[in-house]
Structure formats: C-alpha cells, structure tokens
Amino acid sequence: MKILKILIFLSLFVMGIIFMNFLISKEKREVVSINEEIYSGIIVIDPGHGGEDTGAISQNNVNEKDVVLDISLKLGEKLEENNFKVYFTRKSDKALGNTVRSDIINRAKFINARNADIFLSIHLNGSDVESAKGVESYSRFLDDKSYLLAESIQDELSSIEYTKDRGIKETNEKSLGILRYTNITGVLLELGFITNSEDEKYLISEEGQDIIVYCILNGILNYFNEIK
C-alpha cells in the first residue's frame, strides 16, 4: 500500500510538471505572437562615412567609419529578429559619393526611396579636446515624431551611464544634411567621442557595442509602442 501511494504521488508530480511546462510554453508562444503583431515596419540604418571618408579618428587610429558599421550591422540583426524590415545605406567600407555633399545626397535619396517608417544615421563624435565625451541625439527640424524617437533612444542610452549624457539637439533647417534632405522620421545618433579614451574603449568593445545596440533597440520599440 505504501509503495502504491508513492507511485501515485510520483505520477501526479510528473503530470504536474508536464502541465506547467505546457502553460509556460503556451505563454512564450503568445508573447512571440504579440511581438510579431506590434513590431513590424521598415527601418533604414545609415552607418556614417565610409571609403576614403574615415570620419573621426581616435588617438589609436581607430576610424569612426569602422566602429559605426559594426554597431549598425549588429543593430540590423536585432531589428530583423523583432520582425522589422531593415535596409542599410552601406554594409561595407564604401562611400556613396565622391564628395561629402554627393555622399549625403545619395544617402538621403536611398532613404527616401525605401518608404520606411524611420531611419537612424549612426555616428561617433570627435574633438581636439581629449576630455570631450558623451552621447547625443539629433532630431529633424520641426518634426515631433523625430524628437520622440530621439528622446526614446537617448533615454535608453543615457540610462546605462557609459558616458556623459549630452541630450537631444533639435536641428535647424540648414544643418546636418542627412536630416535636412530626408522626408521621413529619423534621427542622427552620436554614440560617443572616439577621440576620448574612455568612450573609445567602450565603443570598440564587444560588450559595449552589444549594450549600445540593446539600448537603441529598446528605444525604437518604445517609440513604436508610443505612436501605435
């Protein structure tokens, strides 16, 4: 009789575990389904510079163009995992024009032609003053959605305190060509100063890049939740 009770108890225990696993599995499937419904859209990622245009250069000869490309490709991968369609203005070390002006105009044309929901232009800052550091975001002139997107991303990036929070800069109609020549909601991100040793160390590290990508992704998701 004692053995029978033990067997019954074990059977009920195993059935309980199976039932709990079923509920957990069902819950996970439902969450994925909800995310697929909410997070769908088209995003263009614009890694700054490329080719002969190195962008800012660190004291260790690290080029802005290379770091922003690495971060952009990682970000694109995470966005695709969240059901976004992602386009890149460049996925390799190349410029889109022979001059700075033609490069910016061609990037803007590419972005405008994608019929995207948002775009992000990814950059690093540089300064002759080695102590200058920080992350900042630029929004399009008189564009409330652009400001909201910049705010959502800036809040996430500043929350991890990897560098100084330099805030959101609202551009005027004559500055920052990529924001001036595009006609969709977008932001330009300056993720830190490559010329600052502390910022540089974080920006080129795998861990630092992964955390930055995670923050940008969260900012984008928060933005889409806000406007839905």
Distance CA 145, CA 226 (A): 10
Question: How confident is the model at residue 142, as a pLDDT?
Answer: 83
Does 11 have pLDDT greater than 70? no
16 and 97 share a domain? Answer: no
Smallest CA-to-CA distance from 163 within 191, 203, 134, 137 is with 134
For residue 213, the enclosing domain spans: 40-227
34 and 60 share a domain? Answer: no
17 and 93 share a domain? Answer: no
Could you read off the pLDDT of 21-79 as tens digits, one per residue?
434 333 332 333 334 445 579 999 999 999 999 999 999 999 999 999 999 999 999 99
Question: How confident is the model at residue 117, as a pLDDT?
Answer: 97
User: Taking a C-beta distance cutoff of 8 angstroms, is the pair 64, 49 a contact?
Assistant: yes
Question: How confident is the model at residue 6, as a pLDDT?
Answer: 44
Phi then psi dihedrals of residue 53, to 5 deg: -85, 100
- CATH number for the domain harbouring residue 119: 3.40.630.40
Lowest mean pLDDT among 23-27, 106-110, 160-164, 191-195: 23-27
Question: How confident is the model at residue 141, as a pLDDT?
Answer: 85
Smallest CA-to-CA distance from 190 within 105, 84, 94, 71 is with 71
Tokens 């490709």 sit on residue:
73
pLDDT (mean) for 126-151: 95
Question: How confident is the model at residue 28, as a pLDDT?
Answer: 32
How many structural domains are present in the chain? 2
Could you read off the pLDDT of 91-103 as tens digits, one per residue?
999 999 999 999 9
93 and 169 share a domain? Answer: yes
